[in-house]
Chains A and B, each alone.
Chain A
Amino acid sequence: MQSIKSQEKGANVLKIKKICIVGGGTAGWMTAAGLSNKFSDLGISIELVESDKIGTVGVGEATLPHIRYFNNSLGINEKEFMLATRATFKLGIEFCDWGKLGDKYLHPFGDYGMPIHNIEYHHFWLRLLQKGHKSRLCDHSFPVLAAESGKFQHPHGDINKIGSNYGYAYQFDSGLYAKFLRQYSEDRKVKRTEGLVTEVFQDSESGNINAILLEDGTNIESDLFIDCSGFRGLLIEQKLKTGYEDWSNWLPCNRAVAVQCEQKGPSLPYTRATARKAGWQWRIPLQHRTGNGYVYWDKYISDDEAAHKLLNTLEGDPLTEPKQLYFKTGKRKKLWKKNVVAIGLSGGFMEPLESTSIHLIQEGITALIELFPDKSFHKSDIQEYNRRMDLNFDRVRDFLLLHYVATQRDDSEMWKFFRNMMLPSSLEDKLQAWLNRGYLTRYEHGVFHPPSWLAVMAGQNLLPNSYDPRANNFDYDTIKTKLDNLRNENKIAVNKTPGHASYLKKFGASIVN
């Protein structure tokens, strides 16, 4: 029998033995669940400190399909999870009034058609469009049509068929999700400690955080700290003074007001984001209620007016008092510093326009697991973590900004501001390549890929003047028939798809309507 390397290094003094997560909420409990699933049986103890006195923000109630990989890796049963979090299925986001007033489009999780002879499908759509044969791009997407008809079914997973390889996500009660993951984590030996942090102790030599002191005098020592304390960044900012990269010159909305209301009408399998004069409004349908919020720029609307506008547009009676949030878009200059990793709002904040908050938490956890440190906290690991997370944040920022600048609206000061904005060059180049010839710039690491860019740009009437000339190398009628066929196939497939509400019921959901 070979002697195993881990046994040779069994007495490894550098091994992390204790992780302390500061703050509960979605970020804290997702981190606790992710880390306990991986590390609790490897001799690493995890303690999460939170206080019932501090509320959580919990604005991230809509997710991206990646959340399914997270849940799967935790071994979570989808049905149990949906019941526990009162979740609905999500096929995409419907954007209203973004390109111009009265417009709407859906950003789905999937491609529009398959490439033809290695040429992206949308070039053929553009060719027909520019020759006067008009069709909606979204009619080439099964999930969009299904969402519009309020229908849902699980994708069959045949990657060669456009009608079955789309993604889906969830809309859920993030408070219940945190609770669900708390149970999961506690089952995996995560210790939950109730208490307010009153003091943070730093090692004078290394600068690492040694321990935190709670209100009741409890002292918690740890090798690694995860800061999930929210906007204030108790460890990463208040103690380690990491600094914040302010992106409000690009994404100036800085406040939000949120309220839950009763649900009217069938539960829809998509989130809605409606552009307003001084920001935008979200609507997230869950099984038992609808989450609503207004994200705005305080320069152009007061808190009272924003709350008033939100309450006036609710579909049902409010279930809660409006909750006010203040934020500054941007990210911590370093998401990992010393022995502290900032996950969630402590790391940065971007408005929930594309449901990226929970996704960025998930990216943070995944990268931390892959680059899990030992007590020497190698500089190279920290650098690599920060490089990856910076890339994730930057690319989300550009994509969010796209929604504001791809617009013909000029009916308010805010929209005029965006129309005159100097864009980050990374975004400017992308837009130019698209407008010039329908070319979509690709990257590998980052959440939004070409179909997402296509959905938003085409959805907001940003249409190119041309297309890939290779698309001319095919007979016009053949292409037209091909596209017509896909639209028809999608229609037929949607007709056969069950309604979202009845599908949810099969999942044991108790739907209001």
Chain B
Amino acid sequence: MNNSSIKNIIICGNGLAGALSALALAKALPKTTNLTLIDTLCAHEKDIFFGNITSASTYAFLLRLGISEIEVLTQSNTSFSLGTHYDNWGNERNTWYQCQHQPLPVLQGVMFHHYLTRISTKAQGHSEIGPYIMSVCAAKNGVFAHPSRDPKNPLKNIEYGYHFQPRELRRLINKKLDDLDINIEKGTIKSAEKSNGVIQSLTLSTGATICGDFFVDCTDGNSKIQEKLSMLGNNRTLKAVEHTLPSKQISGSCRELHGSFDNWTSKIFLQDKHQTLSITDVSDKTDLDSEYPTNNFGGVIVNTGFAEKPWKQNCLRLGLSAAILSPITPAPIMLLQKDIERMLELIPISHDMKIEGKEYNRRFKEDYIHASTFENALQSTQTIIQKEHFDNKIEKLIYDKLKRKITQFESRGVILQYDLEPFNNEDWTQIHLGMGRIPDRYDPLADKVEETQLIETLKNIKLGNKLTSDKMPPLNKYMTGLIKYLRDQNEKI
């Protein structure tokens, strides 16, 4: 009853990537495939680089893995997130809310932001987009509500992700794994036995030998499974420092972030605490070991970038062993989800995995290039345009794509989109405007909307959003009420 000769899949490492991969595979595959998760007994400190904010796609992703929002809320300290407030960002001190949102209205076939360029004046500068975005209005007020199904309610446009801690989410997933048919082996990986580059088995510190057909390497990249890879893309050395303080009060429905591209601090509210996560670029520091000791309270240091070919032979690197991005945007968790979905679509069916590997690697590269393009958009336009030195050819490609996007936006407000980008038009519009990239001109077709009608339409959207956000409860109140309700319901059952 099975078309596959892959009988044993080994997932190495039970950090967030490993736990999610194991759960995803267990849910997807019939019981005839044996799954083994190797708990490498490490603290998974680098998981902090999955960041503290997810995108709107996480809800559906977790649901597909059998994890409901109710479980996320009642069994981890996760709270809701409308986006990020970049506060006094960079040298230009830009301040804006970067929120998730349904597509903005299109008038006369012309995208919304062109109308803002049209009504802008020299005296007042470019019109703000925030008041027209429901989630931005809510984020500013620190309020929250689930999206409405009523097409007339401005709340229909809201989208949300989560504020989370990777370790808490991992704990929840591990609990799920207990109920599934997965062998768990504990021990560090001492060696990988290969034949013609194909992994036959892994030997653990316990002396156990784990044989497998397909290996998913979800370690932090320092395992003995494969040789160390050179990373492409944005090659930087980043240090993360996390502080948490207990707090029963959730004061804010978005992530607060300030600083600059190379040195920033974010703050989020979880259900029981608030977390501060600081990231510093330490690429120029020569004596890292003494100045920034790893594995202690001083922080976690990683090299960012992504593998050119994460899938080689019968081993797929997934998670931190294949890619580390800066958690400045929700990209790290978004792409982890994409990595897992991509793996599911390409679970090998025979020992010849060349085709699966090639397609996985192609899509992986595209996704990481596009995510890095978005991340780099948080640098000043001047830095981007003037950048001439590139560490690798992919980094150059990322900047070339970004430059084309910026040129199109600044010259005429066009959002240039490549194939299947993880960040959509709304994300790009907000980041460009937030970073002070103002289109020189707007789509001439925007002139088709009569001036008084345009001003009336804009006024109504703004007013609808304002009235709605004024009525919404603060996130704290909403969460407390919701969780109490969910727990009561649970007890009744």
Contact = CB atoms under 8 A, between A and B. Distances in A.
A133 interface: no
A473 B29 contact: yes
A384 B442 contact: no
Contact of A41 (B416, B419, B448, B455): B448
Nearest to A467: B3
A4 B121 CA distance: 7
A502 interface: no
Contacts of A443: 419-420
B109 A476 contact: no
A5 B118 contact: yes
B122 A473 contact: no
Given A42-B447, A127-B3, A472-B3, A433 B347 contact: no
B4 A469 contact: yes
B54 interface: no
B404 A369 contact: no
Interface residues of B, number: 50
B2 A472 contact: yes
B288 interface: no
A451 to B, nearest CB: 16
A6 B117 CA distance: 9
Contacts of A202: none
Taking residues whose C-beta sits less than 8 angstroms from the other chain, chain A's interface range is: 35 or more
B359 interface: yes
Given A384-B414, A384-B416, A436 B121 contact: no
Contacts of B117: 5
B467 to A, nearest CB: 23
A73 B444 contact: no
Interface in B381-423: 404, 407-408, 411-412, 414, 416-420
Interface in B422-449: 441-445, 447-448
B358 A429 contact: yes
Interface string B336-373: 00000000111101100001101100100000000000
A442 interface: yes
A42 B29 contact: no
B120 interface: yes
A247 B29 CA distance: 44
Nearest to A388: B416
A4 B119 contact: yes
B1 interface: yes
Contact of A472 (B32, B404, B408): B32
Interface stretch (A226-234, A324-332, A370-378): A370-378
Report which residue of A42, A73, A436, A469 has the largest number of chain B beta carbons within 10 angstroms of its beta carbon: A469
Contacts of B64: 117-118
Nearest to A383: B404
Interface string A368-412: 011110100010110110000000000000000000000000000
B58 to A, nearest CB: 15
A154 interface: no
Contacts of B356: 436-437
B404 A130 contact: no
A468 B345 contact: yes
Given A8-B122, A380-B404, A441-B359, A370 B414 contact: yes
A42 B444 contact: yes
A482 B117 CA distance: 52
Contact of B349 (A2, A9, A369, A469): A469
Interface string A280-317: 00000000000000000000000000000000000000
A321 interface: no
Contacts of A442: 420
Contact of A444 (B120, B122, B416, B419): B419
Interface of chain A, main secondary structure: helix
A380 B349 contact: no
Given A380-B411, A381-B412, A384-B404, A469 B3 contact: yes
A416 interface: no
Given A2-B121, A372-B444, A433 B2 contact: no
Contact of A4 (B4, B344, B408, B451): B451
A469 B4 CA distance: 7
B28 interface: yes
B106 to A, nearest CB: 12
A448 to B, nearest CB: 14
A399 to B, nearest CB: 16
Interface in B144-167: none
A6 B439 CA distance: 13
A132 to B, nearest CB: 13
A241 interface: no
Contacts of A380: 404, 407-408, 411
Contact of B3 (A6, A39, A130, A378): A130
Contact of A381 (B1, B411, B444): B411
A437 B444 CA distance: 48
Interface string A456-480: 0000000000111110110010000
Interface in B12-27: none
A9 B121 CA distance: 11
Nearest to B117: A5
Can you list the 5 inter-chain pairs with the closest CB atoms, starting with the nearest? A469-B4, A380-B407, A444-B419, A470-B28, A472-B30
30 contacts: A3-B121, A5-B118, A5-B121, A6-B447, A9-B441, A38-B445, A118-B64, A370-B414, A370-B443, A371-B414, A372-B443, A380-B408, A381-B408, A381-B411, A384-B404, A384-B416, A433-B355, A437-B349, A439-B359, A443-B420, A444-B419, A444-B420, A445-B418, A466-B3, A466-B4, A470-B347, A472-B1, A472-B2, A472-B3, A473-B28
Interface of B: 1-4, 6, 28-30, 32-33, 64, 109, 117-122, 124, 344-347, 349-350, 355-356, 358-359, 362, 404, 407-408, 411-412, 414, 416-420, 441-445, 447-448, 451, 455
Given A38-B445, A378-B412, A442-B420, 18 more contacts: A2-B124, A5-B118, A6-B442, A6-B447, A39-B445, A42-B448, A118-B64, A370-B414, A371-B414, A380-B407, A429-B358, A433-B359, A439-B355, A441-B359, A445-B418, A469-B3, A472-B1, A472-B29
